[in-house]
Amino acid sequence: MPEPQPVIAPPASATVFLVAAIGPGGLQTVRAVLENVSALRRSVAFRSPGDELTCVVSIGSQAWDRLFSGPRPRDLHPFVELTGEKHRAPSTPGDLLFHIRAGRMDLCFELARLLMEQLRHCVSVVDEVHAFRYFDERDLLGFVDGSENPEGQLAADSVFIGAEDPGFHGGSYVTIQKYLHDLTAWNLLPTDEQEKAIGRTKSDNVEFPDDIKTEDAHIAVNSVTDEDGTERKIVRENMPFGAVGQGEFGTFFIGYSRTPDVTEQMLRNMYLGTRAGLHDRILDFSTAVTGCLFYTPTADFLDDLPTAPRPAHSSKGFPEIRSLKGTA
């Protein structure tokens, strides 16, 4: 199997999420930078190897055919916007996603700075979030986040594409949404009402039994099963963020999966409900302001990209692309 990017990784203390749109005339430089990401990461990571700096690069549907010739990932498509009776999951622009993680924010910041220095004038950053670990892996609502992630082989089976799309074996799909929380309204809820909305206890993070869990609890609507009753999993690597001066408090949702179908079903359950009049209770306090779907290629793919597509107006293809490999 080709070497995957470090999609499955221990929880990080610091994360930078960069979502970028490729501008006119920027394709050649973007391709060169994609091939140089691993070298840039190494140039920063050597300063503190124990802090495990990683950078996972993902590519959006509209950018794919502009960057690469040949086949495309079977299930890659734009994020599907959802509009329920009360809440909406918007679809927003995004050609590239850089998911940068480490034990220290300075390492994340430096790698993000170097990437944007090389991509300057070629992309526009449409969203930038500097996120942090909050106590014992809690979100700003006060609940532990991501405790139901699969582990070991189950995590790999849930995240990495297999024989169903052999040309993209080892890749993944990733869905992102930026949620803003109404903490004032949330904190007015008694703790037991907050726990009902989530479906688990707040202090010790114990999931409610099914006979106690309400239909609209966050955990209940996010449970997706196959026809045989087997639960379908994704790997969430959500992180909290905020700006106290602006009164902005949020969670950056990021879910990696073998197919986007699983995450999309979870979102349909949340926004459209499993029956009429039902939606995820957490949406009454958390509003999605972004939504994107990307394909996460393998590390081998990034090290040796497919050829660029030929411009529509020419049969000669792109001119020679300047390599950035090995530069910092």
Tokens standing for residue 229: 């009753």
Q: How far apart are CA 10 and CA 101, in angstroms?
A: 10
Q: How far apart are CA 122 and CA 77, in angstroms?
A: 23
- The answer to whether 231 and 224 have CB atoms below 8 angstroms apart is yes
> Which among 207, 217, 228 is positioned nearest to 282, based on CA atoms?
217
Which of 95, 127, 139, 145 is an active site residue?
Answer: 145
Higher pLDDT, 181 or 276: 181
In the predicted model, is pLDDT for residue 327 greater than 80? no
Which pLDDT score is estimated for 317? 41
Question: What's the alpha-carbon Rg for the chain, to the nearest Å?
Answer: 20
Which pLDDT score is estimated for 313? 55
Q: What is the mean pLDDT of residues 270-298?
A: 96
Residue 32, Ramachandran bin (φ over 0: left; ψ between -120 and 50: alpha; else beta): alpha
- The answer to whether 287 and 279 have CB atoms below 8 angstroms apart is no
pLDDT in tens, 90-117: 999 999 999 999 999 999 999 999 999 9
228 is a catalytic site residue: no
Q: How far apart are CA 273 and CA 269, in angstroms?
A: 4
Which pLDDT score is estimated for 310? 85
Q: How far apart are CA 149 and CA 180, in angstroms?
A: 23
Q: How far apart are CA 17 and CA 7, in angstroms?
A: 14
Helix, coil or strand: residue 19: strand
Q: How confident is the model at residue 314 (pLDDT cuts 50, 70, 90)?
A: very low
Q: What is the mean pLDDT of residues 309-320?
A: 55
First to last CA, the chain: 29
pLDDT in tens, 2-42: 999 999 999 999 999 999 999 999 999 999 999 999 999 99
- The answer to whether 97 and 294 have CB atoms below 8 angstroms apart is yes
CA neighbours closer than 13 Å in the CB half-sphere of residue 16? 23
In the predicted model, is pLDDT for residue 312 greater than 70? no
Q: How far apart are CA 324 and CA 37, in angstroms?
A: 9
In the predicted model, is pLDDT for residue 1 greater than 50? yes
- pLDDT-above-90 percentage for the chain: 90
- Residue 287 sits at φ, ψ, to 5 deg, of -115, 125
DSSP 56-110: EEEEEHHHHHHH--S---TT------EE-SS-EE-----SEEEEEEESSHHHHHH
> Which among 221, 216, 226, 220 is positioned nearest to 208, based on CA atoms?
220
Mean residue pLDDT of the chain comes to 94
Higher pLDDT, 106 or 274: 106
Q: What is the mean pLDDT of residues 266-285?
A: 95
Task: Give the C-alpha distances (Å, rounded to integers) separating 315 from 24, 29, 138.
Answer: 20, 21, 54
Find the angle CA(19)-CA(268)-CA(80) to the nearest 5 degrees: 40
- pLDDT-above-70 percentage for the chain: 95
